[in-house]
């Protein structure tokens, strides 16, 4: 475990301030847990719009993620910094940490091992974790040989900055590959990787919290995508218990491979022959862990705060036999408004979280709904029925 940089103050000193780089719903839900412990929060916002966590603190800095001076000013006002997204550069984080003495978790070194998809794949492959075949596409001449070796179609990805389906393109031949390579920034010097298409049967995910006090893994969940966006999380995953346990163990190994301090999400493909391939990682709270707010003894957001502050990690056990989380995505473009909400609030085992975003956009993550139950299939049916009633 990496030696910690001493905090300026201990987590329970009056005025202890956690800084979030990124001001979206993930920071907002983590901030709620920091408030429980009497901590203050600060946010480094990158959007011109008012971000969800800004409603909760007067300490707001604005700038882009490459503005080293602005990040240093932000860090000087924090006792500790953590991440809400991975669109940064680890070298900048390292310089900010050195310049201010403010600890950053995950550490710049750990983040540097997964900050782009090429480095991430190589890091986990080197750790003995199975991943889909991949290759750095340095020029269009590399497109055809990859398809010939691993088969068409395959996926081209921007190594950095992609999320929710952005930055990924499935290509079926060299001509499509050349267009995608250009669109993803290959002509502009951006790193593009090719990844073999995996004929998976299911997508799985495991959240892991880790610090010097230990490591805890959350239950293995099933992730259902809609248009490359996580739409539903089903807990526990509808696979044999042995596969669930294997995914949890692989997630722990992945966290150890990067010597991570903090909260991490690991997404996997389950193949037809029950092989588990690590697909992506996230050095922060993750969509696949939202159900933990009501569904587990300790939510992912509380363990996020505990982990980065060096506190004992909380119990990750489920509080009900089944849980289903459904993302509520924007259904129109315009000022945000959720309706009707009352019918959901009347259901005792249903829990609604609205993120406080000022504007809705088609497909934008605006809220989520979690339903707890005694049976996975019954709970999934109920959650889907409730989610269909909400327009946001």
Q: Tell me: the pLDDT tens digits for 273-284?
A: 999 999 999 999
Task: Give me the mean pLDDT over the 194-219 stretch.
Answer: 97
| Summary mean pLDDT of the chain | 94
Q: For position 48, what pLDDT does the model report?
A: 85
pLDDT band at 387 (very low <50, low <70, confident <90, very high): very high
pLDDT band at 14 (very low <50, low <70, confident <90, very high): very high
Q: Which of 46, 49, 57 is nearest to 22 (CA)?
A: 46
- Residues 300, 265: Cα–Cα separation, whole Å: 10
Residues contacting residue 36 through CB under 8 Å, at least 6 positions apart: 302
Task: Give me the mean pLDDT over the 156-170 stretch.
Answer: 78
CATH class assigned to 200-387:
alpha beta
- Domain boundaries in the chain? 17-112, 133-196, 200-387
**Antiparallel, parallel or unpaired: β 200-211 and 262-271:** antiparallel
Record: fold of 17-112: Rossmann fold (3.40.50)
Q: For position 339, what pLDDT does the model report?
A: 84
Task: Give me the mean pLDDT over the 237-263 stretch.
Answer: 98
pLDDT band at 165 (very low <50, low <70, confident <90, very high): low
19 near 74, Cβ under 8 Å?
yes
Residue 164, pLDDT above cutoff 70: no
Residue 370, pLDDT above cutoff 90: yes
Neighbours of 51 (CB within 10 A): 25
Q: For position 6, what pLDDT does the model report?
A: 60
pLDDT band at 364 (very low <50, low <70, confident <90, very high): very high
Record: fold of 133-196: Dna Ligase; domain 1 (3.30.1490)
**Antiparallel, parallel or unpaired: β 17-21 and 40-45:** parallel
Token pair of 146 as six digits: 């990859």
**Antiparallel, parallel or unpaired: β 334-335 and 229-235:** unpaired
pTM, two decimals, is 0.94
Q: For position 228, what pLDDT does the model report?
A: 80
Percent of the chain scoring above 90 in pLDDT: 86
pLDDT band at 49 (very low <50, low <70, confident <90, very high): confident
pLDDT band at 63 (very low <50, low <70, confident <90, very high): very high
Residue 161, pLDDT above cutoff 90: no
Q: For position 124, what pLDDT does the model report?
A: 98
């Amino acid at each position: 475990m990496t030696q910690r940089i001493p905090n300026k103050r201990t987590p329970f000193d009056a005025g202890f301030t956690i800084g979030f780089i990124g001001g979206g719903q993930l920071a907002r839900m983590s901030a709620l847990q920091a408030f429980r412990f009497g901590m203050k929060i600060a946010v480094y916002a990158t959007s011109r719009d008012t971000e969800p966590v800004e409603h909760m603190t007067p300490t707001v800095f604005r700038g882009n993620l490459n503005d080293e001076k602005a990040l240093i000013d932000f860090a000087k006002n924090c006792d500790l910094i953590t991440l809400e997204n991975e669109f940064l550069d680890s070298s900048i984080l390292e310089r900010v940490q050195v310049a201010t003495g403010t600890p950053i978790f995950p550490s710049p070194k750990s983040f540097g091992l997964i900050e782009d998809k090429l480095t991430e794949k190589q890091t986990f492959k080197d750790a003995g974790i199975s991943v889909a075949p991949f290759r750095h596409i340095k020029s269009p001449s590399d497109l055809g040989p990859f398809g010939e070796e691993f088969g068409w179609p395959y996926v081209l990805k921007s190594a950095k900055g992609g999320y929710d389906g952005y930055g990924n393109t499935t290509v079926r031949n060299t001509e499509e590959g050349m267009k995608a390579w250009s669109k993803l920034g290959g002509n502009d010097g951006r790193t593009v990787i090719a990844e073999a298409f995996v004929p998976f049967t299911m997508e799985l995910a495991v959240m892991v919290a880790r610090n010097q006090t230990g490591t805890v893994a959350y239950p293995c969940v099933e992730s259902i995508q809609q248009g490359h966006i996580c739409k539903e999380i089903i807990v526990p995953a509808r696979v044999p218990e042995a596969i669930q346990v294997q995914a949890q163990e692989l997630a722990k190994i992945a966290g150890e491979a990067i010597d991570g301090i903090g909260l991490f999400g690991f997404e996997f493909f389950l193949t037809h022959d029950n092989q588990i391939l690590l697909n992506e990682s996230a050095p922060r709270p993750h969509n696949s862990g939202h159900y933990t707010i009501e569904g587990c003894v300790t939510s992912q957001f509380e363990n996020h705060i505990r982990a980065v502050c060096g506190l004992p990690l909380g119990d990750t056990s489920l509080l009900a036999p089944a849980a289903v989380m459904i993302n509520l995505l924007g259904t129109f473009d315009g000022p945000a408004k959720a309706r009707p909400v009352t019918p959901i609030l009347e259901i005792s085992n249903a829990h609604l979280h609205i993120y406080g975003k000022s504007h809705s956009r088609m497909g934008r993550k605006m809220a989520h709904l979690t339903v707890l139950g005694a049976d996975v299939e019954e709970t999934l049916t109920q959650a889907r029925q409730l989610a269909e009633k909400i327009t946001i």
